[in-house]
Structure 1
Amino acid sequence: MEELTHDFLSFLPAALLALAAAGAPEVYKLAARRFLGRAKSHTASWLYILLDSFLTPVAGLFRVLLGAAAVKSLPFELVRDAVFLQYLNLAADLLVIFYIALGCWRAAPVTRLLLRSAQNHLDLETNQTMGHFFENIFHALVGLFAGIAMLDRLGVPVSGLLTGAGVAGLAVSLAAQSTLNNLIAGITLVLERPFGIGDYIVLGNCEGTVEDISFRSTRIRSPDNVAITIENSKITAEYIQNYDRRQSRLWKFTIGLTYDTPREKIEQLTADLTAMLQAQPDVQPDGVTIALDKFNDYSIDLACRVYITKVNLQDFMQVKNTLNLQILDLMQEEGCEFAFPTTTVDLPERK
């Protein structure tokens, strides 16, 4: 009985530390979230982002340290072996580096605050695109330094690798010339801002909504939902048409009237249609032009040009839908009919 009690007591410290490793981080996260929620309105934005970003990593650090302590307190000879302790400490150090890097990675939104503070000086229309771009750079730097720290802890001669990389830099630069060009082009796109994330653009024979701007390429989503990735250097060499930077969108359409429509009705329809379009809140009054364009094979064509102030494609299509329905009603009120292709067949009489 005494031996069993002794064995139980020998495992007790490890068990308590293991329970602490499992429960203490969760209790910490719960308490920290409540504290941050109450202190958010009284805390600087950058400090709140840092505290919130490191909340989960710090809980992970607690779990690593308590877990390592629990393993070391086990009453086994293996635990006291120098080689085992060396590997255990190595694993713990790598996890510590990982959690610190994770906190830095999650703190990337701080770069948006820096851009926001410089917005007036840089005269930025929006910092969304630049914030996303510099967040990618921040993530890359965090990953780079975390990788170097892990390699150094594993005993890899990082200084030798960096020296070797410098010697081989000339050869690599020739092979990576296109990548460097794309990076420079990406920075140019971000600084000059010909478009931003969410804009609808046309590049040569490609068009779509911009989804991402990275170091090497830009991804757009075409109208038929296809993701198109284009190298940044090719984008800067193209004529970029940004549809969302327009103040209005041109809508051109033709109304074909039947040839039996009297001249008076055509004139009245032209005047009423112009007045109806100019009265719409989403139409530029001075951008409405209705004119008799030509005499087609089967119709008298009215050419219509309307500038709509809704530049977003979905809003633009909704305005077109509303206007088309009103044009249908106006045609019925005026007693005019739409022309359509017809064929007349003359059959000779049989004798």
Structure 2
Amino acid sequence: MLTRKRIPAQNMQTYIEAVPGWNSTVFGVQFGVLVAVLVILTLGMIGRGLIVTFLPRMMKKIADERKGFEDFQITSRFPLGAAAAGFIWWHFFTILSTTEGIILNDEFIFWILSLSKAALLIGGLLGAIRLVEFVEVIARLIDDDGELDGTQVTLIDALQSVLKLLIFVIGVVLIADGFGFDLGAIIAGLGIGGLAFAFAAKDTISNIFGALTLLLDRPFKIGDWIKVGSSEGEVVGIGVRTTILRTSNDTVITLPNGKLVNKDIENYGKRRWRRYRPVLSLDLNSDAKDVEQFCRGVEELISAHEGTTKKEDSFAKVSAISKDSIEISLNVYWTEGGKVERDGKEDLLLDIAALAQDKKLRFHDPRVRSSSN
């Protein structure tokens, strides 16, 4: 024998009528209905508590405590918890509002459903936007060493920005639809005002396409030191609209992406080597053979230094003779910049000074006038 399955509203009515004295009124509301409202509110708070408590633990286990996850788990749980509570409230209050045999104020139903839907949609929107940052956690899990380089950081930042924008637009549409706005009229209005909006936002659109161009062409990445016109600094951020540089004076320069793609960009970060061309001045009275041996010795020092490269193109040659000095030009290529280059220069110059002392050569002092033998 087949039994007819009860619909949710019938179940709700059964539960309400099971409450002792359910039909008595408290504050103008049936006691059973009041109990049902309190139970629904409690269920929503329990759902919120479960999300807030267990979601971070689940995500933390998945992410294996990767760097950058702590901030994610703290801030994402609250909007998602609100969304869970809103869903529970909206679902059960909708059933309650369609249950026969109960007395509920229409205004109460309207506001309780509206607030529940607001918690669901707004909490879901904020939670979804915050969940976008989990893209970085996934990227770290996939990456071999768990550390992202500048290019990966740039791509992840751009992907997160695009996803947040899409989620925001979709969320706004869902919220508008959830509160009964006429989407057809809204879309029609957007169509009419689309041209005006596009004209007003042309700079923003240009910057967004500029960001896409930068990401596809990759003229630089985060961490590179670049020069654009009169602006020079380290790339610390590439956003949807702007690129941020930090200068050697620790100031910040903001460059619109739309203008950046139309300018010449000099990227020091892509250098394969750093060229160093000092000039040494020896006393004019130095012995020619000693000077020649000194030059060969300097070339050996350059070749033997572990921080140099392009050995075949490196040299130490007499380049000029003035009335006071013999000029020796050096051509050196360093493999790295920054501290490595500075330390390498110091070591090389001190070795050259020691070599000059060994050869009994004196560097030219412009304060001392040379005399002929």
The answer to whether TM tops 0.5 is yes
- Distance (whole Å) between structure 2 residues aligned to residue 244 and residue 281 of structure 1: 21
* Cα deviation, residue 138, structure 1: 0.9
- Distance (whole Å) between structure 2 residues aligned to residue 19 and residue 302 of structure 1: 86
Q: Is the 8 A contact 1:298 1:342 kept in 2?
A: no
Calculate percent identity across the aligned residue pairs.
21
- 1:239 is matched with 264
Taking the TM superposition and a 5 Å limit, the aligned residue runs for 1:184-223 are: 184-223=209-248
- Distance (whole Å) between structure 2 residues aligned to residue 196 and residue 177 of structure 1: 25
- 1:83 is matched with 107
- Distance (whole Å) between structure 1 residues aligned to residue 82 and residue 247 of structure 2: 42
Alpha-carbon spacing, 1:327–1:25, altered in 2? closer, same or farther (3 Å): farther
- 1:258 is matched with 283
- 2:123 is matched with 99
Matched, 1:60 2:85: no
- Distance (whole Å) between structure 2 residues aligned to residue 32 and residue 170 of structure 1: 44
Look up the SS of the partner of 1:168 in the other structure: helix
Residues 146-155 or 196-205, more deviating: 146-155
Look up the SS of the partner of 2:327 in the other structure: strand
Residues 98-107 or 193-202, more deviating: 98-107
Consecutive unaligned residues of structure 2, counting only runs of 5 or more, are 1-25, 27-31, 65-71, 92-103, 143-149
Structure 2 letter corresponding to 1:182 = N
Q: Which residue of the other structure, out of 157, 160, 169, is the alignment partner of 1:144?
A: 169
Matched, 1:108 2:132: yes
- Distance (whole Å) between structure 2 residues aligned to residue 155 and residue 269 of structure 1: 88
Structure 1 letter corresponding to 2:333 = Y
- Distance (whole Å) between structure 1 residues aligned to residue 360 and residue 114 of structure 2: 88
Alpha-carbon spacing, 1:147–1:38, altered in 2? closer, same or farther (3 Å): closer
- Distance (whole Å) between structure 1 residues aligned to residue 50 and residue 333 of structure 2: 60
Q: Is the 8 A contact 1:53 1:104 kept in 2?
A: no
* Cα deviation, residue 157, structure 1: 4.0
Output the TM-score relative to the length of structure 1: 0.71
- 2:331 is matched with 305
- 1:74 is matched with none
Q: Which residue of the other structure, out of 317, 328, 352, is the alignment partner of 1:291?
A: 317
* Cα deviation, residue 283, structure 1: 0.6
* Cα deviation, residue 18, structure 1: 8.3
Matched, 1:341 2:366: yes
- Distance (whole Å) between structure 2 residues aligned to residue 105 and residue 15 of structure 1: 31
Alpha-carbon spacing, 1:337–1:182, altered in 2? closer, same or farther (3 Å): same
- Distance (whole Å) between structure 1 residues aligned to residue 107 and residue 156 of structure 2: 47
- Distance (whole Å) between structure 2 residues aligned to residue 259 and residue 57 of structure 1: 79
Alpha-carbon spacing, 1:30–1:175, altered in 2? closer, same or farther (3 Å): closer
* Cα deviation, residue 214, structure 1: 2.3
Look up the SS of the partner of 2:199 in the other structure: helix
Cα shift readout 1:222-264 (whole Å, capped 9, x = no counterpart): 2222211222232222222222222211112122223343323
* Cα deviation, residue 104, structure 1: 2.1
Consecutive unaligned residues of structure 1, counting only runs of 5 or more, are 1-6, 42-49, 70-79, 118-124, 345-351
* Cα deviation, residue 67, structure 1: 9.2
* Cα deviation, residue 306, structure 1: 0.8
Q: Is the 8 A contact 1:298 1:340 kept in 2?
A: no
* Cα deviation, residue 90, structure 1: 2.5
Structure 2 letter corresponding to 1:309 = T
Matched, 1:273 2:298: yes
- Distance (whole Å) between structure 2 residues aligned to residue 171 and residue 254 of structure 1: 62
Structure 2 letter corresponding to 1:268 = Q
Alpha-carbon spacing, 1:20–1:292, altered in 2? closer, same or farther (3 Å): farther
Structure 2 letter corresponding to 1:172 = F
Cα shift readout 1:250-300 (whole Å, capped 9, x = no counterpart): 112122223343323322221111111111122112231211122356543
Alpha-carbon spacing, 1:99–1:271, altered in 2? closer, same or farther (3 Å): same
Q: Is the 8 A contact 1:57 1:102 kept in 2?
A: yes
* Cα deviation, residue 213, structure 1: 2.0
Residues 244-253 or 101-110, more deviating: 101-110
- 2:67 is matched with none
- Two-structure CA RMSD over aligned residues (Å): 4.3
- Distance (whole Å) between structure 2 residues aligned to residue 203 and residue 270 of structure 1: 39
Structure 2 letter corresponding to 1:87 = W
- 2:94 is matched with none
Output the TM-score relative to the length of structure 2: 0.68
Q: Is the 8 A contact 1:36 1:52 kept in 2?
A: no
Matched, 1:161 2:186: yes
Structure 1 letter corresponding to 2:286 = T
Taking the TM superposition and a 5 Å limit, the aligned residue runs for 1:12-51 are: 25=48, 29-38=52-61
Q: Is the 8 A contact 2:84 2:120 kept in 1?
A: no
Matched, 1:135 2:157: no
Structure 2 letter corresponding to 1:108 = V
Look up the SS of the partner of 2:249 in the other structure: coil
Q: Which has the larger radius of gyration?
A: 2
